[in-house]
Amino acid sequence: MTPIEKARILMEALPYIKRYHGSTVVVKYGGAAMEDPALAEGFANDIVLMRYVGMNPVVVHGGGPQVSEEVARRGGTPVFVGGYRVTTAGDLEVARMVLGGVINKDIVSLINRHGTLAAGLSGEDGNLLLVRRKEHPDGDLGFVGEIERVNPAILTDLLRDFIPVVASLGVDANGQTYNVNADEVAAALAGALGADKLVYLTNVEGIQDAAGRLLTQIGAEKVSELKANGVISSGMLPKIESALEAIKSGVPKVTVLDGRTEHALLLEIFTDQGVGTMVTA
């Protein structure tokens, strides 16, 4: 690449750097972007760059495959109802260990290799996420929480100096811990923080129509229609439902992004083309 080509790339990014300077962007991190070492390294670089150009990224993560692997290793069988993991008392202990004790620290360490900026926590810390037991029409989910309230003070304090990395756990009024869907956590935090953008890194291109065509931009009403018609189903449902909740809570843009694309975050935020599907009000 010639110097002039590099300069043109920077000039293309400049309006977006101006637009998002000082803005909060919540990123739900998962899928291939978390599992592939090269993509994980690229993700960490993207997050650090976002911070250094004046944005305030907040990373939210789950760890479904890793939790399932550990549950199976202990002789259990992962069970899902309506896209949600059924969480027994034993599974909950596994989730706390894997999400808060392993994955969270790995992500913090990965980001800090590119700049000493990240700090890890879960929804249990500072009562960040107050939840109740989630009810589901298709069956009992066990220790799965539904978010009732977000207490963002601990995050706003951290954002002055750090990139918060949040594990998807929460507590109820009695101090009982619950496993919480990471997509829902990302949406709730985006709303509570007044985020300018919420991004979901996934293993799909984005939202598709009934014919399987990628929709690069779509209104929330059309997304609800696709959901009602069964076009959006299975594991994508919690993501789409939480995206719609984020829009309702005032987040202007929610993007479902193909995390298998190298530097997907930078392409989405700092270029004219972007990747994935942007959902707007």
Residue 249's pLDDT band, with cuts at 50, 70 and 90, is very high
Provide the 3-class DSSP secondary structure of residue 38: helix
Q: What is the pLDDT of residue 245?
A: 93
CATH code that applies to domain 22-280: 3.40.1160.10
Give yes or no for residue 43 having a pLDDT over 80.
yes
Given this model, what pLDDT does residue 274 score?
67
Distance CA 201, CA 191 (A): 18
Other CB atoms within 10 A of residue 66 CB: 18
Residue spans per domain, the chain: 22-280
- Residue 30 and residue 201: Cα distance in Å, rounded? 6
Read off the pTM. Answer: 0.92
The per-residue pLDDT of the chain, averaged, comes to 91
- Average the pLDDT over 62-80 and give the result: 90
Please give the average per-residue pLDDT across 185-194, as a whole number: 97
